[in-house]
Amino acid sequence: MAQSTKYIFITGGVTSSLGKGIIAASLGKLLQARGFSVTIQKFDPYLNIDPGTLNPYEHGECYVTDDGAETDLDLGHYERFLNVPTSQNNNITTGRIYNNVITKERKGEFLGKTVQVIPHITDEIKCNFYKLGEDGKYDVVITEIGGCVGDIESLPFIEAVRQARWDLGPGNFLVIHLTLIPYLKAAKELKTKPTQHSVKQLLEAGIQPDILVCRTEHPLPSEVKKKLALFCNVQLNSVIEAMDAESIYDVPLLMKKEKLDERVLSKLKLSSKSNIDLETWKDFLGKLKNPTQEVTIGLIGKYVSLPDSYKSIIESFTHAGAAVECKVNLQLISSEEINSENYQSKLGELDGILVAPGFGERGFEGKIETVRFARENQIPFFGICLGMQVAVIEFSRNVLGLDGANSTEMDPNTPYPVIALMEEQKKIDQMGGTMRLGSYACDLKKGSKAAIAYGKTKIQERHRHRYEFNNAFLEQLESKGLIASGKNPETGLVEIIELKNHPWFVGVQFHPEYKSTVLNPQPLFVKLIQAALDNKKNK
């Protein structure tokens, strides 16, 4: 392990979903703004090897990296804040750790020793803690430990953190504990006891937190901070208040005001490489909070009751909206509730429509109705992954007259499989079933809507899908005005479709939302918002 690399561990207590990922990303942003190279990794205590098989209702969206890893949605926050790509090494689960250890045991690598949680599982965890710091690329590696202190699942991770303090030595290791200070309305009082208990559990596991970050709905009076410092054995200036923020993008500035980065630098004996530069971040926030116009865009999908299922898409609208100083009122509409009778009342007030990605046939016909409505009424439309496939199917049925046209995912016996598993794809990809995952190249047609949006003709975008556009139908579709404007240069697979005589009708096979960041808003989202603004003016 490169000893020049500093390691910060972020644990959570009292309850989950306190925002460890946002605190990790905000701290990373502040250190980056001071000139340090930073990466963030997430260790998840569940037994799935990766989140790829998890229902979005259970765990929110599955985020995909350039190298094709299916990861936790917190990695999306890391990339959006830091503008630095992550990889499969940035997200490790208990399942992966045990899988690695058991594979080694089966190969005889432990030389007949009894394989145990300590040292074998904890050694494997530590090995993954240090992996990103080993090549000397990063000054600071921030590690977020998922779940809550005290959970049975996270015990091996907490033990590995305890051991890491001795491996790394003083000045190279830091623990930040994120906790909740609840406010009891009846007593009109902020309560520190849950935090005391949470820190006590950490201490029982042999870890003394260096900094406490306290989530709260009310400002923390100095006597509450003093009490926390005294009972939790931390310095008074290391008790950091984290008030609920209007936007997650406010959090870096709030943490700067609370001097979180300064406390971290002093404890890690780091001197700032440069003056903190957050000007572009402040510009973004200024535009985000002071829009000059607004539009209403419908996000049509089947997981709308848990917005985290579409986290990257929602954040892409935030980035793109700020870029054009426009407030995007996003309406999440369940595709299961849309049918041929009610589509006008459900969709009629929208300035633009996005049909979301997804798997399976639930809500599929509702998506078909949505696309037809957008196509026939010249409403700006953007289809992502399944959304693009739905657009092809709708056009095939209603314009080409191919009755029963479908994807072989929905109907294996469709007479017109306009979306299907490609033979060549079956041969290429033996990993993860037939899923195409990670970053692939795409060549854009000069002058197409997509090429104009990107401002170039060669792009790289991330994929997560099984079924492809069936090129056997390409000529027929193009003859009626549905153009393939983006193709994979190696396989010839269609990546982008668009309609000729429509203000903005674009479908993409990839997931553009995964690469949208605060500093680089995704161009297709920017163009959709601009088209929706034009549509609103022309109404």
| 425 is annotated as contributing to ligand binding | no
| 25 is annotated as contributing to ligand binding | no
Are residues 508 and 487 in contact, defined by beta-carbon separation less than 8 angstroms?
A: no
| 433 is annotated as contributing to ligand binding | no
| 522 is annotated as contributing to ligand binding | no
CA-to-CA dists, residue 376 to 254, 373, 395, angstroms: 47, 5, 11
| 345 is annotated as contributing to ligand binding | no
To which residue do tokens 């998890």 refer?
Answer: 54
Candidates 334, 400, 409; CA nearest to 370 is 334
| 227 is annotated as contributing to ligand binding | yes
- Active-site residue 513, yes or no? yes
Instruction: In whole angstroms, give the CA distance from residue 97 to residue 303.
Output: 30
- Complete edge-to-edge strand list for the sheet that includes strand 239-243: 91-93, 38-44, 140-145, 6-12, 173-180, 211-216, 239-243
Q: Which of 394, 461, 468, 513 is catalytic?
A: 513
Q: Which of 385, 442, 461, 502 is catalytic?
A: 385
CB proximity list for 353: less than 8 A, separation 6 or greater: 297, 298, 300, 347, 370, 373, 374, 379, 380, 381, 382
Phi/psi at 137 (5° precision): -75, -30
Name residue 239's amino acid: V
| 331 is annotated as contributing to ligand binding | no
- Active-site residue 385, yes or no? yes
Name residue 76's amino acid: G
CA-to-CA dists, residue 536 to 332, 437, 521, 529, angstroms: 19, 36, 22, 10
| 410 is annotated as contributing to ligand binding | no
Residue ranges with strand state E in 76-137: 91-93
| 16 is annotated as contributing to ligand binding | yes
| 507 is annotated as contributing to ligand binding | no
C-alpha gyration radius of the chain? 25
| 193 is annotated as contributing to ligand binding | yes
Are residues 42 and 146 in contact, defined by beta-carbon separation less than 8 angstroms?
A: yes
| 210 is annotated as contributing to ligand binding | no
| 539 is annotated as contributing to ligand binding | no
Q: Which of 77, 319, 463, 511 is catalytic?
A: 511
**184 has which bridge partners?**
189
| 18 is annotated as contributing to ligand binding | yes
| 153 is annotated as contributing to ligand binding | yes
| 21 is annotated as contributing to ligand binding | yes
| 428 is annotated as contributing to ligand binding | no
| 44 is annotated as contributing to ligand binding | no
Name residue 131's amino acid: K
Annotated binding residues for UTP: 16, 191-196, 227
Query: Binding site for L-glutamine: which residues?
Result: 57, 358, 386-389, 409, 466
Q: What residues act catalytically?
A: 385, 511, 513
Annotated binding-site positions? 16-22, 57, 74, 144, 151-153, 191-196, 227, 245, 358, 386-389, 409, 466
Q: Which residue ranges make up the annotated binding site for Mg(2+)?
A: 74, 144
Which residues belong to the annotated binding site for ATP? 17-22, 74, 245
